[in-house]
């Protein structure tokens, strides 16, 4: 049994505060692409507290985080495969090493078709080579690689680097703070580290824009940091991009988490609030463009999601959103959001 009590309040029962982010009615003049979205459920059973998703060969690979039972050892940890047409689980799973892997981030290398998965407590990163379902360990927790746990992951093919959020979730991990670590895809060595400014910061998820600039969420407070494309290999180049009420953490929970670019906007999940937030990343004042996406599921408007975690752009008008089931009505699901077009 491990003692993760220090930060477990971030993972339980704070959805009651989601109402502070209720979406006001929007006039037609205010509505832009992505201010509203429709939900299609792709998976609503057979997975325990999923966290993030990647797509390979038109199949969704869903990381089964099992974060509802952190602090225990034992059991099977895996990445499950899900059909994108809504027909549910597929037969091929990736069985992860050990009995306490607790996977969090997953990402695809679009050039090699390899998948990468990180362990939030062991600090390991595994690669699942193209065409296989067998993981190979490429990084371990050590002073020379990751010092805490591996959370969000993203491949930078321009620099041939895998970026990983090196983050401390629980008291059993003695190194405070967080950093974004760049790991060589050639020899698995550390190429660069970008330290977060706060001792309790939580580096969570990563996305690139079309120009190659990197964006990363900090969830303990609820912020988004940026690294310009030209500075990706320059140590400690994080710059604050936006902090606003819609992505702020509530009472010790998780704020800004998953993020993705689509329809000209930057979409960010607020895990505790149960919302998806849209920003205009090109605006002079990004925070002023904050909009809580009005999500409709069935006939229910302004639906709150159950711990929205990872986000992946499936197309310019479709987002895959992972519900980790730790908040709200405790649904562990993979859903697709179809963004509504600009109103005329």
Q: What pLDDT, in 10s, does the model give residues 225-234?
A: 999 999 999 9
What is the structure's pLDDT at 14? 33
> In the block, which residue shows the tokens 């099992």?
66
Report how far apart, in Å, the C-alpha atoms of 300 and of each of 294, 303, 304 are. Answer: 10, 6, 10
CA atoms of 12 and 15, how far apart (whole Å): 9
pLDDT score recorded for residue 4: 38
Q: What pLDDT is stored for residue 8 in this prediction?
A: 46
Q: Which residues of the chain register pLDDT less than 50?
A: 1-9, 12-29, 344
CATH architecture of 29-339: 6 Propeller (2.120)
Longest Cα separation, the chain: 57
**Beta bridge partners of residue 43, listed in sequence order:** 334
At 312 the pLDDT is 98
Do 175 and 128 form a contact (C-beta atoms < 8 A)?
A: no
The rounded Cα 338 to chain-centroid distance in angstroms is: 19
CA distance 258 to 238: 18
Q: What is the pLDDT of residue 172?
A: 55
Residue 330: the pLDDT is 93
What was the pLDDT predicted at 22?
A: 32
């Amino acid at each position: 049994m491990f003692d993760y009590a220090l930060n477990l309040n971030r993972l339980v029962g704070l959805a009651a505060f989601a109402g502070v982010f209720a979406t006001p009615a929007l006039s037609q003049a205010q509505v832009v692409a992505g201010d509203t979205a429709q939900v299609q459920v792709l998976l609503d059973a057979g997975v325990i507290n999923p966290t993030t998703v990647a797509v390979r060969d038109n199949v969704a690979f869903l990381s089964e985080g099992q974060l509802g039972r952190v602090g225990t050892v034992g059991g099977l940890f895996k990445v499950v495969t899900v059909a994108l047409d809504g027909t549910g689980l597929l037969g091929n799973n990736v069985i992860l090493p050990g009995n306490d892997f607790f996977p969090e981030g997953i990402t695809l290398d679009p050039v090699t078709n390899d998948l990468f998965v990180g362990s939030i407590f062991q600090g390991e990163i595994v690669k699942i080579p193209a065409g296989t379902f067998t993981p190979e360990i490429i990084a371990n927790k050590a002073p020379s690689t990751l010092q805490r746990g591996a959370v969000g992951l993203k491949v930078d093919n321009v620099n041939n680097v895998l970026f990983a959020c090196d983050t401390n979730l629980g008291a059993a991990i003695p190194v405070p703070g967080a950093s974004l670590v760049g790991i060589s895809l050639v020899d698995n060595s550390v190429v660069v580290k970008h330290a977060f400014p706060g001792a309790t910061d939580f580096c969570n998820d990563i996305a690139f824009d079309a120009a190659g600039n990197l964006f990363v969420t900090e969830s303990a407070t609820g912020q988004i940091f940026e690294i310009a494309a030209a500075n990706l290999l320059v140590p400690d180049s994080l710059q604050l991009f936006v902090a606003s009420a819609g992505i702020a953490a509530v009472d010790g929970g998780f704020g800004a988490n998953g993020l993705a670019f689509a329809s000209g906007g930057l979409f960010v999940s607020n895990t505790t609030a149960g919302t998806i937030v849209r920003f205009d990343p090109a605006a002079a004042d990004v925070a002023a463009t904050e909009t809580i996406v009005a999500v409709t599921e069935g006939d229910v408007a302004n639906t709150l999601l159950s711990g929205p975690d990872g986000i992946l752009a499936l197309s310019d008008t479709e987002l895959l959103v992972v519900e980790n089931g730790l908040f709200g009505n405790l649904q562990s699901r993979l859903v697709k959001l179809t963004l509504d077009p600009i109103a005329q």
